[in-house]
Amino acid sequence: MVQSEHLSKQFDADLQGLRSHVLQMGGLVESQIVAAIEGFATGNRELIERVINNEPRVNGYEVTIDGDCSHTIVKRQPAASDLRMIMAISKTVTDLERIGDEAEKIARMSKQIHERDRLQVQRFGEIRHVGSIAVQMLRQALDAFARLDAAQAAQVVREDVTIDDEFRSIVRQLVTFMMEDPRTISSALEIVWIAKAIERIGDHAKNMAENVIYIVKGTDVRHTRFEDLEREAKG
C-alpha cells in the first residue's frame, strides 16, 4: 500500500509517530514473552522477575498510544485509510497489552512451579515449542503491520490453527501425567494454564494480523472463514 504524503506534514508526523510507538510496544511485548517462556523452562528467577516488573510499562504504552489516537481523531478527523489505521492501532495496542498480561501470567506461574518443584518442567519441551510459534506469530504480525503487508498477515492467521492443535496435544499429554501420578495434578494444572496463555497469545497475534488486513484492504475480516480472509488479503 503506497501512500502519498498529506498536505499537512504534521499529520504525517503524527501518524508515523503512532505507528512507530506500536512497533516499540510490540518489541517490548515480544521480549516479555520470550523471557517468560525462558523463565518457565529454566527457572531463571531474574528473568521471571523482570517480566513481572516490566508489565506496567506495557500498560503505559497502551494508555499513551490510545490517548494519542484520540488526539489524532480530534485534531484531524481522519477518513478512509487514515481512519482505518487509527482504529486498527487502537485495537492492536489492546491486543498487545493482553499479550503482555499473558506473559506476566506465565512468569508468575513459572515462579510458583519452580518454587514448589514437584514436576520436572524440563520435560515440557512442547511448551517451549508452542511458545516459539507464538513469538514467531507476533513477530510476523508486527512485521506485516510495519510493512502493511496483507499477504503476510494472512499467513499469521493460518498459523493460529497450529497453536490451537499444539495446545490440545499438550493438554492430552498432561491428562495422562495426572492420571499416572495424582501428586502432579496441581503443577500440571499450572502448566495447562501456561499452555492456555500461549494459545491466547496466538489469538491476539491473529487479531493484530486481521487489523493489518483491515488497514490495507478496508475489509473487516474478523469472524470470516480463512478462505475468504485469504482471498481478501490477496485480492
Partner 1 sequence: MTALAERVGPETGTEVQNQPALKAEVRGLSFHYGEVRALKDINMALHEKQVTALIGPSGCGKSTFLRCFNRMHDLYPGNRYQGQIIFHPDGLDLLGRDVDPIEVRMRISMVFQKPNPFPKSIFENVAYGLRVRGERNRRNVEEKVEQALRGAALWEEVKDRLHQLAFNLSGGQQQRMCIARALATDPEILLFDEPTSALDPIATASIEELIHELKRKVTILIVTHNMQQAARVSDYTAYMYLGELIEFGVTDTLFIKPKMKQTEDYITGRFG
Q: Which of 208, 171, 203, 197 shows the shortest CA–CA distance to 104? A: 197
Question: Closer to partner 1 at the Cβ: 181 or 228?
Answer: 228
For the chain, the residue count is: 235
> Measured between alpha carbons, how far is residue 60 from residues 72, 146, 173 in Å?
18, 21, 38
Distance CA 94, CA 208 (A): 9
The CB-of-85 to partner 1 minimum distance in angstroms stands at 10
Cell of 5: 504524503
Return the number of the residue (10 or 112) whose C-beta is nearest partner 1: 10
All three cell numbers of 39, joined, read 523463565
Residue 68 CA to residue 86 CA, distance in Å, equals 9
Shorter beta-carbon distance to partner 1: residue 14 or 62: 14
5: phi > 0 → left, psi -120 to 50 → alpha, else beta; which?
beta
Please, which residue, 76 or 196, has the CB nearer to partner 1?
76
Shortest CA distance to 213 belongs to which of 201, 223, 202, 199? Answer: 223
In the complex, minimum distance from the CB of residue 166 to partner 1, in angstroms, rounded to a whole number: 29
Kindly state the cell numbers that stand for 67. Answer: 490517548
Closer residue to partner 1 in complex, CB, 5/227: 5
Least distance in angstroms from the C-beta of 65 to partner 1: 21
The minimum distance between CB 76 and partner 1, in angstroms, equals: 8
Binding site for partner 1 (CB under 8 A): 3-8, 11, 76-84, 218-219, 223
Please state the closest distance from residue 42 (CB atom) to partner 1, in A: 45
Phi and psi, residue 103, nearest 5°: -60, -40
- Least separation, in Å, of the C-beta of 4 and partner 1? 5
**What is the largest distance, in Å, between two alpha-carbon atoms of the chain?**
69
Question: End-to-end distance of the chain based on CA atoms, in angstroms?
Answer: 13
Query: In the numeric block, which cell numbers belong to residue 16?
Result: 508515523
Based on CB atoms, which residue is closest to partner 1, 5 or 115? 5
Our CB check for partner 1 shows the closer of 5 and 180 to be 5
Smallest separation (angstroms) from partner 1 to the CB of 219: 7
